[in-house]
Amino acid sequence: MSIISISGLTVDLGNQRILDGVDLNIDAGEWITIIGPNGAGKTTMLRSLLGTVEHAGTIELDGTRPTKPIERARRLAYVPQSPVIPGGMLVGDYVLLGRTPHRGVFGRDSDTDCNIAMDVLTRLDLADFTMREVGSLSGGERQRVVLARALAQQADIVLLDEPTTALDLGHQQDVLDLVESLRRDRGLTVVATLHDLTLAARYGDRIAVLSGGRIVETGPPSAVLTAATIAEHFGATVRIIDDPDGPVIVPTTGGPS
Amino acid sequence: MTDTSAAGTGAEPLRVARLRPGALVAGLVAVLGAMVIGMALGPVDIAPKLIVYELLDDLPLIELDSGLSAQRVAIIEQIRLPRVVLGFLVGATLSVSGAAYQGAFRNPLADPYLLGIAAGAGLGATVAITQDWGDGGGFTDPVPLAAFAGALLAVVLSYTAGHVGGRSTASLILAGVAVASFLTAAQTYVLQANSDAFREVYAWILGRIATSGWSEVVLMVPYFLLAAGIVFRYRRALDVLAVGDEEAQALGLEPRKIRMIVVLAASLGAAAAVSVSGLIGFVGIIVPHAVRLAFGASHRVLIPLSLLFGGAFMVLADLVARTIVEPAELPIGVVTAFLGAPFFVLVLRTSRRSVW
């Protein structure tokens, strides 16, 4: 059975229909990457899963519909595209925020919470950063810290919204490799949005194309990332080079004729 | 990449933000020191040591002879002790409310008067003074009661109006601005129509810690306990709100609900403080910021220390207010700003923390 079943997901923001009947099933342990042009509603789709935007349609996790934020937070961890970095907060405390769904509004951080946070920090090579302020870190370090907070949540589904924005190529690879190894070790289900199509082709089992408020295609990268699909939904002319690691998308100069 | 099997074991335990004993002791010493000095100085100076003896003697199971005359004992127990206690309660409540507002709205400029409390209380007090609604003192004194009612009215109006225009915190703050302007205009109108009461209203607005025995303290205590208790209970939740509503919700909280509870508790406390002391500005902004700069931004540290240092600061400010131009009294709002502003600039310039 699918770990996430989305059917008829519709979201209106203001007078604009952003999502218009999205249907998608996601299997436990898979990595699915959602691609689509700017404004297609990728972030809105992740927010719907989190319950932070009002939506119509159904979203089920393992066949049930969580209603309270705390129930969702125990299943879904979220890495936002531009996380809010609180002034003066130390890395250790920031990662401990990930334990919130387990301790509730009033509970204090137990030794177990601290051990879990320290485990994650060590796993992400951040053990020496615990007493640094999050705001003082570089972009790559910050992204790892935000990922650490999400992992400290110990949710079985991780939502990544453009996790590689603002990172150089090396750090993009680091972050995505890290997510991939964690997925294998912990059996995580990963739902990511990515702009870089070649990168999207290299990570994950499946790609879903979101366009015009609907999922228009899903499948393995080599099947979905064709010149025709990209021309239709992104308005871009590209050449696809087959590579053993997945298709490489090369923009051609001149644009559509 | 490190090996996961070894992760966490043998590594240093995580140090988390919490109130360190040293900081707590510093706060308690500040409060007790300010209170003893506040009781020692005045038209009649009494040795601090004797005051401590006298107060310890009042505790059960302790017998100590301070050797003070009955008259001086009365000065301590009926005049100065209630005054320093009230000063502590007002300062502590305003500081905690300020810290709570700043955390709940994620805005360093939020103060306890944000939702029109000052204007509402000002209108209530002005009406009570100009209409000469008697002066029973204590529970039946109409001025604090009217001020309290006005302050609560302002908060209710702001909350109601703020939710019409959407649900963002900015719309609530803007509603507060509109409500404050409206109530200030109403207050000015009432005052202009009764210009003979100008002096009395002005004196109330500038604030004072004046007591008639213990009645104001009794009036203030429940609101102090309620406001400080609720805000303290939500201190960890306020730390989570620092990442914004969306992420806080993704972490399992209900930010709007938490904000409403915290803001209403802080407003109730601030309204009660204003009703017994007038409009004492500055404390609710300056004390929490000084605590942040000195001890860190976590609400687990900020809330208890704002309570202690806010209380101590107000006791000292009141001491200056009533002794510096004896036998007259300076309005305490003048003192809090006059002492607080330079002190705050000093903290701001020497601190290396970035807290916002």
Percent of chain B with pLDDT over 90: 47
pLDDT on residue B13: 73
Q: Say yes or no for a CB contact (<8 Å) between A89 and B254.
A: no
Phi, psi (5° rounding) for residue A137?
-85, 160
Q: Say yes or no for a CB contact (<8 Å) between A86 and B16.
A: no
Q: Say yes or no for a CB contact (<8 Å) between A87 and B7.
A: no
Q: Say yes or no for a CB contact (<8 Å) between A86 and B258.
A: no
Tokens of B15: 């140090």
CA distances from A21 to A16, A25, A55, B141 (A): 14, 13, 10, 63
Q: What average pLDDT does chain A have?
A: 91
- Residue A92, chain B, CB below 8 Å: the answer is yes
Asked whether residue A227 carries a pLDDT value surpassing 80, the answer given is: yes
SS3 assignment, position A102: helix
From A89, A105, A109, residue closest to B253, measured CB to CB:
A105
> pLDDT tens digits, residue range B210-266?
777 788 899 899 999 999 999 999 999 999 999 999 999 999 999 989 999 999 999
When computed from its CA atoms, the radius of gyration of chain B, rounded to whole angstroms, is: 22
Place of tokens 């300062």: B91
pLDDT on residue B200: 86
Tell me the whole-structure pTM to 2 decimals.
0.89
Q: Pairing state of beta strands A189-193 and A2-13?
A: unpaired
ipTM of the complex as predicted:
0.91
pLDDT on residue B164: 62
Q: Say yes or no for a CB contact (<8 Å) between A83 and B247.
A: yes
| Sheet of A56-61, strand order | A16-27, A2-13, A56-61
From A52, A97, A135, residue closest to B240, measured CB to CB:
A97
pLDDT on residue B6: 39
CA distance B293 to chain A (A): 9
> pLDDT tens digits, residue range B34-92?
999 999 998 888 999 999 988 888 888 888 888 888 888 888 988 899 999 999 999 99
From B4, B237, B353, residue closest to A185, measured CB to CB:
B4
Asked whether residue B7 carries a pLDDT value surpassing 50, the answer given is: no
Asked whether residue B353 carries a pLDDT value surpassing 80, the answer given is: no
> Which positions in chain A touch B354 (Cβ < 8 Å)?
87-88, 133, 135-136
Phi, psi (5° rounding) for residue B50?
-65, -35
pLDDT on residue B249: 95
From A76, A83, A88, residue closest to B297, measured CB to CB:
A88
- Residue A97, chain B, CB below 8 Å: the answer is yes
Percent of chain A with pLDDT over 90: 74
From A70, A84, A133, residue closest to B247, measured CB to CB:
A84
* Angle ∠(B141,B142,B147) on CA atoms, nearest 5: 115
Taking CA atoms, what residue in B is nearest to A185? Answer: B4
> Which positions in chain A touch B244 (Cβ < 8 Å)?
84
Query: In 3D, which of B132, B79, B48, B95 has the Cα closest to residue B303?
Result: B95
Q: What average pLDDT does chain B have?
A: 87
> Which positions in chain B touch A66 (Cβ < 8 Å)?
none
- Residue A137, chain B, CB below 8 Å: the answer is no
pLDDT on residue B166: 54
Cis-peptide, bond into residue B342, ω within 30° of zero: no
> Which positions in chain B touch A117 (Cβ < 8 Å)?
14
> Which positions in chain B touch A178 (Cβ < 8 Å)?
1
Q: Pairing state of beta strands A206-211 and A214-219?
A: antiparallel
> Which positions in chain B touch A134 (Cβ < 8 Å)?
none
Query: Distance between CA atoms of A160 and A55, rounded to whole angstroms?
Result: 20
Compute the average pLDDT of residues B279-296: 90
Place of tokens 């090996």: B3
Query: In 3D, which of A99, A42, A48 has the Cα closest to residue A70?
Result: A99
- pLDDT grade for A254, boundaries at 50, 70 and 90: low
Q: Pairing state of beta strands A76-79 and A157-161?
A: parallel
**Which domains are delineated in chain A?**
2-83+155-251 (3.40.50.300)
When computed from its CA atoms, the radius of gyration of chain A, rounded to whole angstroms, is: 19
SS (H, E, C) chain B: CCCHHHCCCCCCCCCCCCCCHHHHHHHHHHHHHHHHHHHHCCCCCCCHHHHHHHHHHHCCCCCCCCCCCHHHHHHHHHHHHHHHHHHHHHHHHHHHHHHHHHHHHCCCCCCCCCCCHHHHHHHHHHHHHHCCCCCCCHHHCHHHHHHHHHHHHHHHHHHHHHHHCCCCHHHHHHHHHHHHHHHHHHHHHHHHHCHHHHHHHHHHHHCCCCCCCCHHHHHHHHHHHHHHHHHHHCHHHHHHHCCCHHHHHHCCCCHHHHHHHHHHHHHHHHHHHHHHHCCCCCHHHHHHHHHHHHHCCCHHHHHHHHHHHHHHHHHHHHHHHHHCCCCCCCCHHHHHHHHHHHHHHHHHHHCCCCCC
**Which domains are delineated in chain B?**
22-35+68-350 (1.10.3470.10)
SS3 assignment, position A201: helix
Query: Distance between CA atoms of B355 and B296, rounded to whole angstroms?
Result: 7
Q: Say yes or no for a CB contact (<8 Å) between A84 and B242.
A: yes
pLDDT on residue B83: 93
Chains A and B form CB pairs within 8 A to the count of 131
Query: Distance between CA atoms of B289 and B174, rounded to whole angstroms?
Result: 23
- pLDDT grade for B5, boundaries at 50, 70 and 90: very low
Asked whether residue B3 carries a pLDDT value surpassing 50, the answer given is: no
Query: In 3D, which of A170, A113, A116, A118 has the Cα closest to residue A143?
Result: A170
Query: Distance between CA atoms of A59 and A43, rounded to whole angstroms?
Result: 16
Query: In 3D, which of B150, B166, B67, B65 has the Cα closest to residue B115?
Result: B150
Query: Distance between CA atoms of B221 and B254, rounded to whole angstroms?
Result: 30
Query: Distance between CA atoms of A230 and A196, rounded to whole angstroms?
Result: 12
SS3 assignment, position A147: helix
pLDDT on residue B173: 86
Compute the average pLDDT of residues B131-135: 70
Tokens of B332: 């305490």
Please, are residues B270 and B118 in contact by the beta-carbon 8 Å criterion?
Answer: no
DSSP symbol at A92? H
Q: Which of B1, B19, B169, B251 to mutate to test the interface with A (most CBs of A within 10 A)?
A: B251
- Residue A83, chain B, CB below 8 Å: the answer is yes
Q: Say yes or no for a CB contact (<8 Å) between A109 and B16.
A: yes
Compute the average pLDDT of residues A210-234: 93
Compute the average pLDDT of residues B109-121: 88
Q: Say yes or no for a CB contact (<8 Å) between B237 and A118.
A: no
Higher per-residue confidence, A75 vs B143 = A75
Asked whether residue B331 carries a pLDDT value surpassing 50, the answer given is: yes
pLDDT on residue B167: 62
Place of tokens 């500040």: B30
